[in-house]
Chain A
Amino acid sequence: MSVIFEKSVRGRRGVDLPKCDVPSKGHIDEAYRRGTSLDLCELSELDVVRHFTALSRKNFGVDNGFYPLGSCTMKYNPKALEAVARLEGFTDLHPFMPQLRHGGMLVQGALRVLYELERLLAEITGMDAVTLQPLAGAHGELTGMMLIAAYHRDKGNKKTEVLIPDEAHGTNPSSAAIGGYAVRAVPTDKKTGTLDLEALEQMVGEQTAAVMLTNPSTLGIFNSDIARIVEIAHEHDAQVYYDGANLNAILGRFRPGDAGFDVVHMNLHKTFATPHGGGGPGAGPVGVKKHLVDYMPISRVVKRDDNTYALDYDYPKSIGYIATFYGNFMVCLRAYAYILMLGASGLREASGHAVLNANYLMNRLKDKFKVAVPRTCMHEFVLSAEAEAEKGVHATDIAKALIDEGFHPPTIYFPLIVKEALMIEPTESESKETLDAFVDAMLKISAQVSACPEVLTSAPKSTPVNRPDEVKAARDMDVAWPRDNHEQ
């Protein structure tokens, strides 16, 4: 399908703007003017509508079908959340409005959203306070590292490194490094699929600023030793960080705060059903315990005695601004609506059925595929296609074959510690019929591994393209359409 710039026709217009109604003519001196041609495309509104409608048809979203992308929690995004996010009282609200005199009173509805959502998230995770400012999960991780660094600086602690399990998401070590720390990987006990406690005890010390954990882990296993791990870290005044990427498994069943975690981040676009947007925007609120509250980013939302809400900037120990305004507000708004609709029992049911769906799939697949850690899983589990790979069919081939069966593939080749990994997270939204159809497809693929592997290694056949050449892409670096190329 042509790139939009190829469709451009000189002189064509897509939007019509009002005639200038003021007598003034603004002038910009030649010295400040652009000397190059702007070269944006020139199309009619219908041209643009057809182009993007055609592009949308080459995409697969949760609304198209089953999307068991492990670790990403591709649950259904209820349409009511979109209706809430279309209200003009929110969409048309300028973020500097609170900076006007008595400006807080001009945005009471918005501040209430922030305040109430912070309180709900604090209760869900068992933390003392929450900031909604981080704009994505990894941004939450970095904020958490900054909070921990501020805490240690304030206490005069000399801390240099962060311990992170080897199965962790890549963002964990990256966030810790950008936060100014050296990173050391703690091994996973291959049998239990959980952190190697002995190794941790040997590695932790006075230099340890923090231990970052994901629980359930990326293997989908809940670590029962969690309280002990927290204890070991705290003995050295290391802070314990909870990566909430997998929070969907434990809603109403476990709260990181109760287990002693000091910092938690949540991914609203995973657990709280806000759309993933083709790669964002998400939101990564961070919750902390009391001893870290003073360091939280500003502004903070407070409720005053007269039940009005205000933004407060007067926190001298704060790490300062981590985002320009108050977080990805419209994402927070949707998450708040979602929590209100589900309520306490709805959230518990969500985690319950997410875990039920994952265990059901795992049990139905375990005879034909190797399960990386064969024990009760939480919201996701990891298969290893090691045996299939020996027959020439790799995890990527299984993923591509699933596309031809009408499904979005699972996450593949992650976690890194499992060979030929296929990480499957069905979420609670999916029905038994959908899960059964996915099992049928997987069993069919399993049979094809021996019978007709070429069907798998040549898949997908049903898509507009088949296995784009990534090496060529990196080598050629064609990352913008050249000017004058095929343009009229």
Chain B
Amino acid sequence: MTTKLSRAELAQRIAAAIPEGAFVNLGIGAPTMVANYLPADLEIILHTENGMLGMGPAPLAGEVDPDLINAGKQAVTALDGAAYFHQADSFGMMRGGHLDVCVLGAFQVAENGDLANWSTGAPGAVPAVGGAMDLAIGAKEVYVMTDLLTKQNESKLVAACSYPLTGIGCVSRVYTDHAVFDVTPEGFAVRELYGDNTVELLATLTGLRLIDATTASAFDETKGH
């Protein structure tokens, strides 16, 4: 059994890669956990696409404000310095390339950076896309947070997505429970390995030809903040 990071550990790694001053959108689901590990002494500004910059943590139970929610429709708070705005402005921030980082979940990420995360294409399913496609193409850096393998042990890193696409060539980096991958013109480059994972093992698990880029970046990445 090779080393696998828990969701919380993964969230911690991603949080450590986000610099002070960054404008960040954390997608619905697991990426939301990244907020829990952003260093309290750094000012990092969270964007929620339903219309706020400067989003803070969940309120206490008696303090829930139905007018103050995040994109996952959960109660949140506003930090000092927060701003509210309407939907066209909110997505203009995204589409206009003003967000530094967004962190998204994925069904599949392809070698060329294509992302599939909004639909499995299953017949009869009720479709929903929300802001996924805008997020995928809008932020300067699109990080994916995901398990490397599905429950059926199929690789989520693929040569080409078989699920309906969310965006083309949009992913810059994939944080998985086994390793961190950068999307490069030559394919996936392994940036950091966790525990006893090796590039050879990951190549076997994914069935992809991988570039070993661990020596270049492993040190500064693990140091984090």
Query: Are these two chains actual partners, yes or no?
Result: no
Q: Which residues of B contact A (CB under 8 A)?
A: none
